[in-house]
Amino acid sequence: MMDIALIAHDRKKDEMVNFAIAYEHVLKHHRLYATGTTGTRIMDSTELSVHRFMSGPLGGDQQIGALVAENKMDLIIFLRDPLMAQPHEPDIIALLRLCDVQGIPVATNVATGELLIKALERGDFAWRELVHKYKPGIEE
């Protein structure tokens, strides 16, 4: 079971909901986390259980980033809106940087998100279990 974060900027929330509906059969086998409104909308449209953090601009990106920093997140689907300035852009960049530092797969658009979900469905992320098992300080 993997820990997966689902994040979407305002103009990408419908796309994230559609993504969650399309891949509910895969996502239901994992622990899901999301920022505020995104998590609510996913739960309202699916039967998925989602742990919700605060809204991104209010610190939700940083809350997910804290799990990434502790290597407690396995995959992030972050549907970003590249055409709209975000007031919390430094938090977003920090989250993406942490993913790079910890080697956490992250998708920033639905095309890459689908590739990662298909890989998850095939079992291609089993290596994350080894990361958790052998990394000092990581407890399950």
Which one is catalytic: 3, 14, 44, 61? 61
Percent of the chain having pLDDT more than 90? 62
* Single pTM value for the model: 0.87
Q: Is 9 annotated as a binding residue?
A: yes
Q: Which residue has the tokens 């298909």?
A: 118
Q: Is 72 annotated as a binding residue?
A: no
Average pLDDT of the chain?
88
Positive or negative: CA dihedral 36, 39, 43, 45: positive
- Whether 73 contacts 51, CB under 8 Å: no
Quote the pLDDT of residue 138: 46
81 classed as catalytic: no
Quote the pLDDT of residue 97: 92
Q: Is 30 annotated as a binding residue?
A: no
Q: Report whether pLDDT(134) > 50.
A: yes
